[in-house]
Amino acid sequence: MTMIYHAGLAAFLLLAPGTVPAMNDDPRALTLDVQQRDGGIDVQLIGHSAHTQQVSYTLEVTGNSTSRHSGKTTLTAGNTAILSTMRASASDNWCVKLVAEEPGRSPYEVIEGSCAED
> pLDDT by residue (tens digit) across 16-67?
444 334 445 789 999 999 999 888 999 999 999 999 999 999 999 999 999 9
* pLDDT, tens digit (0-9, with 9 covering 90-100), for 57-115: 999 999 999 999 999 999 999 999 999 999 999 988 899 999 999 999 999 999 999 88
Percent of the chain whose predicted confidence (pLDDT) is above 70: 78
- Find out whether 84 and 34 touch, Cβ atoms under 8 Å: no
Count other C-beta atoms under 10 Å from residue 20's C-beta: 9
Q: For the chain, list the domains and their CATH numbers.
A: 26-117 (2.60.40.2420)
Distance, CA of 33 to CA of 96 (rounded, Å): 10
- Find out whether 46 and 29 touch, Cβ atoms under 8 Å: no
Distance, CA of 115 to CA of 2 (rounded, Å): 63
Closest by alpha carbon to 35, among 108, 85, 75? 85
Closest by alpha carbon to 31, among 107, 88, 109, 118? 109
Closest by alpha carbon to 87, among 51, 55, 62? 62
Instruction: Say whether pLDDT at 12 is over 70.
Output: no
